[in-house]
Structure 1
C-alpha cells in the first residue's frame, strides 16, 4: 500500500479513527497537526470527524552542520527533550547545542504566530486529543509534543500517522494512550518513500488549510 499524497493518507487514516468515534470512545475531540507535513493529513481527519483543527508546532534539534539528523526537539517554552544516547554517541552536550535550541525556539514562535495569529491555543484538558503527523521516522518531535500535551491533562491522547517505522511506533505506545498507524513496513527507510507525492508543504498551504477548516462548521 502507498498513498497518493497527504490528503489521501489523511482520508485513509480518518476511516480508522471513525471506527473509534462510532464506538463513542472520542469525547469532545480535537485534532492537532504537527506542521507542516501533518496539516493536510490532519485536515482530512478533522473533516471526517467534524472536529476542530489546530496546530502544535514542534521543532527538531539537529546535529550542528547536519540538521537533518535529529537529537532532540522542543515544543512551546518547554525545555528541550534530548535523545541522551544520541548525544553520547555523537559527543555532544546540551551546552554545545544551546545556540541551536535558541534558533529553533525563535523559529517555533515565528510559526506559531504565523499559523495562529492572535488565536489562543485550543484547550485540551479533559478532551480526546488526536495528534497527527504525515509519518514517524525517529519520532523525536512527536515524543516532545506528546509529553507537552500530557502535562495539560487530556482525557485521552492519541497519536495518529499514516506510516511509521515499526520500532518508533512501539516506543510511542509508552507516550500516548493509543497509537494509530496504518503502515508499519519492515523496509521503512523514510516517510516519503510511502507517498507518490511528498512535496514540501509551504507556510501558505498550512495557513490556507487552517482557514478553510475554521470556516467549516464542526459537529456538536
Structure 2
C-alpha cells in the first residue's frame, strides 16, 4: 500500500474567528477590552491573578459555546487522504471537535489547567471555571494552561520536526507575525509546496514554492481541498 502524503497545517486565529471566537489582534492589542499584557503575561498574573482567572474562565465558556466551521471540518476530512498534522496557535479545541486526530497546540489549551508552581503538572478540565483555591497535586493554585508572552513554547521542537517532514505545508488564518510560530516556515523543506490561505497577502517572498489563496479560511479551504486531492 502506498503511504499517505504528509500534510502539515499551521493554523491561527483567523480560522477560529469564523466560529465566533474573538482575537485580540483585530482590536489594536486589546483582547475583550483588556491590554493583552494584563491577561497574557506572567507579570499580569502576579499583579492580579483573579482578573486573569476570570478572563480565561469567560474565554473558556465562550469557546465551548462555539462550533467548528467548514474549514475545521475540511481539515479533519483530509485525514482520509493524507497524514494530517495540525500545528495550531489557537487555544480552543475546535480542530479536535471537528474530528482532527493529530493536533499540536503551541500556545496551550483553554480546556486544561496547570500548576502555577510546576508547569509539567497539567489537568484536563471537565468544567469551564478555575476557581481560587483549586490546587494541583503539589498544593499550588491552578492557572490557565496557556503560554503567555515571555514564556517558553514547550511544543516548538515537536512542531519543527513535523514541519521538516511535510510533503505539503498549509498556513491558514495566521498573520505570521507571532514568533516563534511564524519561524516554522524556515523549516519547510525546499521541495515542499506551501499554501497560504488568508484574505490579506503577507509581504514575503517564497517564489514558486508558495501559492496564495486570498480568501477566508472557510472559502479558501474549499478551494484548497480540491487542489490537494488532485495531487494525490
TM-score, normalised with respect to structure 1: 0.36
Q: Computing the radius of gyration over CA atoms, which structure comes out larger, 1 or 2?
A: 2
Higher helix share: 1
**Which structure ranks higher in relative contact order (CA pairs < 8 Å, sequence separation ≥ 6)?**
1
